[in-house]
Amino acid sequence: MECGTWSISRSFPEGIGDDSQAIADRVFLFLSKTVSLDEEKSIHRYQCGTSENSARKIMTSKLNPDIQTALAEGTVIPAMPLALNGKRHLDERRQAGLIRYYHAAGAGGLAVGVHTTQFQIRDPKHGMYEPVLRFAMERIEETEGESLIKIAGICGPGLQALHEAEVAASLRYDLGLLNLGGLDSLSPDDLLQHCDEVGKVIPIFGFYLQPAVGGIELPYSFWRDFAELESVHAIKIAAFNRYQTLDVVRAVCESSRRSEIALYTGNDDNIVVDLLTPFRFHHLGEVIEKKIVGGLLGHWAVWTKKAVDLFEEIKAFNNGSIPRGLLTLNQEVTDCNAVIFDAANGFRGCIPGIHEVLRRQGLLEGIWCLDPDEQLSPGQSAELDRIHNSYPHLNDDDFVAEHLDSWLG
């Protein structure tokens, strides 16, 4: 098995545009290594104890009860961008400033090493996965962030995922956001075994990632079995698809652990409505209702103070009639996200779009990505001007301007 060889080969659902295919291929490069199905299954046998080296894998992860309570109540969890300087090295001053910003804005958690942090941090030529997770944890602890839900992104085939889980657990992250992108060769049963083994190392935050950015389609039956894993405490639904979102919610509602699993939206195209909707299903003669209680979102990496304010406004209408204005707000937030994430170009400028919003506020020096080819798409900057001018109530420029010097000090 060639652990250092990365593959860009990937089939893609018919009907998806060339731009989305290109994005999926680039993301897939960092989610999947060159591993045959037989090799991948041998990895699972290694994990399950048939190798003499597997003893360190056999453990049971436990989630801090206070974190579990906060997770169940629901909160705002931004996905952390990677602050780079012009040499594409970590800009520690601005990375620390971002973390202080999220804390001051009232975020209840932070996700590190995820898509917004750039999957390329795992590339051996950068070797940034552990250093970035360590740096972020140290800065979180400086903000007295014990109550903050600390989430580490985990991806790749068996040994890579286990290594990342062990790194995250050793650095005191509460949960691992388990990305199954790139594991197309595995059967649903093998995927479940993969999840179960990672869950022995760190509590799991499940993740349904849309195929346009490297995810794989997973049926209701997979999520129904996934919800029975005791290590699963939450699921982020980022399918960008109503049918697939319902698959996950129904699977959890019909599981025996429905009261133990918190649902979080990752559907940046439908944030407000996801948070407002009481999902209701009939199962075995019982009416089961469940809500998506929070969000873990790249969209919330920008204008975070206003995202927290909006989240609190939504929670205030949790059990009452919903003002029509909130439905209009859903359209406005979605319009903003379409521009920031560059939906018009198959999400090609997603991360640069996030960086550009933060650069305009002074939180980042530039929009540099580890991949020099990741740039704003043509016309994206003008569209960012449009949404900034159209929806001034959604940005937190004044809040950032007031505190920027102290965050970067």
Answer yes or no: is 373 within a domain: no
Confidence (pLDDT) at 342? 97
Mean pLDDT, residues 250-268 taken together: 98
In a domain, 328, yes or no: no
Residue type, 371: D
Q: Are 235 and 264 in contact (CB under 8 A)?
A: yes
Task: Report the pLDDT value the prediction gives residue 318, as an integer from 0 to 100.
Answer: 66
In a domain, 396, yes or no: no
CATH code where residue 266 lies: 3.20.20.70
The average pLDDT across 318-328 equals 83
Whether 276 shows a pLDDT value over 60: the answer reads yes
**Does 363 have pLDDT greater than 90?**
yes
The whole-number pLDDT of residue 210 equals: 86
Evaluate if residue 51 carries a pLDDT over 50. no
Percentage of the chain lying above the pLDDT 70 cut: 85
Neighbours of 245 (CB within 10 A): 23
Q: Report the amino acid identity of residue 279.
A: F
Q: Please report which confidence band the pLDDT of residue 59 belongs to, taking 50, 70 and 90 as the band edges.
A: very low
Range of the domain at 31: 22-51+58-305
pLDDT range class, residue 146, cuts 50, 70, 90? confident
Single-letter amino acid code for the residue at 240:
F
> Does 217 map to a domain?
yes
Average pLDDT, the chain: 88
pLDDT at res. 220? 97
Give yes or no for a contact between 199 and 61, defined as CB atoms under 8 angstroms apart. yes
Task: Please indicate, yes or no, if residue 343 is contained in any of the structural domains.
Answer: no
Q: How many CB atoms lie within 10 A of CB 99?
A: 27
Determine the Cα–Cα distance for residues 12 and 280; give it in Å rounded to an integer: 33
Query: Where residue 145 falls among pLDDT bands split at 50, 70, 90?
Result: confident
Tally the domains of the chain: 1
DSSP string, 318-364: TTSPPPHHHHHHHHHHHHHHHHHTTGGGTTTTHHHHHHHHHHHHTS-
Does 364 map to a domain?
no
344 occurs within a structural domain: no
Residue 310 lies in a domain: no
Does the pTM surpass 0.85? The reply is yes
pLDDT, residue 212, reads 77
